Chain A
């Protein structure tokens, strides 16, 4: 396994790569550590969805800088995010991300919420439905993990948070360690361009401090596929203008719903943003 410094060096050597997402896919070890890519090359993205494109953004936030990039390959999106702490200005030792998602298919009265896993699996849907808000948002988490944070896990003594290989790294302000996350979502192939309605998914992700509950800033991004043969996989948001300084109501509602489930005593970690 590459050590952290080697990973960072590999990433830095490729910062000038014009196609960030192609690089990310071909060097997946570095997926979780895009470093200052977006910060070095901030761009304002068009408001309309585009295909075969890369979107980036960066923003100064309390205690550091948030940077991100969004791209695609085939019917899979790639989103990476980085919180770089300013040494001496960020006291948090456990920085990670909380991401919420709304995924639907169809429009109007025919619109339904879709979930990770096998479409139509009732047990699977029942599991996820307990986390849904009335508006169809939920904390984006791995089923049965009990963890609302994106990109970290518990160590084997269950005493501290650690990196989740390939998915994220735990940030540490005083140590100057970046928090990173990587998401590669895609729709089920049987659900798109198959006469089942347009597919849409929107995410809102915020960097947070686990121990204090402080929310540091976030961004919204999304994907969609029109229900038509040959329709492209589209990206939405993820640009510089899609920065979110404060948690949105849907993000707060989804976290509150997560806590409702966590408080039922399943061993799930609650998160109380402040």
Chain B
């Protein structure tokens, strides 16, 4: 997959998350950083499946900044009722990023 196509695929929230992850993993580190910034705009978002997908992709491609951002999302008292599934996925994502680093 060409990088530009992969980037378009990876950021398309209408696509299956595993298809997006597959594309994201082929991106250059610079593109991954750009994608990471885009994904963070979806957190918390509507606290729905789009949010969860963003967390799941960050778990696979995110860097230490992503881990920090997710920790901030998890640790700050939230004015939202964060669904337990999203909190669980984000907690695991931080651990996965730290493990990879």
Binding site for B on A (CB under 8 A): 1-2, 25, 27-29, 31-32, 75-77, 79, 103, 114-119, 124, 140, 142-145, 150-151, 153-156, 158, 164-167, 182-191
Report if A188-B81 is in contact (Cβ < 8 Å); known contacts: A2-B99, A143-B46, A144-B50. Answer: yes
Residue pair B81, A187 in contact (C-beta under 8 Å): yes
Tell me what chain B mostly uses at the interface: helix, strand, loop, or mixed.
helix
Which of A31, A103, A116, A191: most chain B Cβ within 10 A? A116
Q: Which of B37-64 contact A (CB under 8 A)?
A: 46-50, 52, 56, 59-60
Instruction: Name the distance in Å between A56's Cβ and chain B's nearest Cβ.
Output: 18
Residue of A whose beta carbon sits closest to that of B77 = A189
Residue pair B46, A167 in contact (C-beta under 8 Å): no
A188 to B92, CA, bound (A): 21
A183 to B84, CA, bound (A): 5
B24 at the interface (CB under 8 A from A): no
A103 to B90, CA, bound (A): 22
Residue pair B46, A190 in contact (C-beta under 8 Å): no
Residue pair A165, B92 in contact (C-beta under 8 Å): yes
Residue pair A29, B87 in contact (C-beta under 8 Å): no
Q: Which of B8-37 contact A (CB under 8 A)?
A: 16-19, 22
Q: List 20 A-B contacts (CB under 8 A).
A: A1-B100, A28-B94, A29-B95, A32-B88, A116-B82, A116-B83, A117-B81, A119-B79, A140-B84, A142-B83, A144-B48, A144-B50, A158-B16, A165-B89, A166-B59, A182-B84, A186-B81, A186-B87, A188-B80, A191-B81
Contact of A166 among B46, B82, B93 (CB under 8 A): B93
B78 at the interface (CB under 8 A from A): yes
Residue pair A1, B80 in contact (C-beta under 8 Å): no
A114 to B77, CA, bound (A): 18
A116 to B47, CA, bound (A): 8
Report if A116-B87 is in contact (Cβ < 8 Å); known contacts: A2-B99, A28-B94. Answer: no
List chain B residues, Cβ under 8 A from A75.
77
A190 to B47, CA, bound (A): 17
Which of B56, B89, B99: most chain A Cβ within 10 A? B89
Residue pair A183, B82 in contact (C-beta under 8 Å): no
A93 to B48, CA, bound (A): 28
Instruction: Name the distance in Å between B67's Cβ and chain A's nearest Cβ.
Output: 12
List chain B residues, Cβ under 8 A from A103.
81
Residue pair A28, B92 in contact (C-beta under 8 Å): yes
Residue pair B17, A189 in contact (C-beta under 8 Å): no
Report if A184-B81 is in contact (Cβ < 8 Å); known contacts: A117-B47, A154-B16. Answer: no
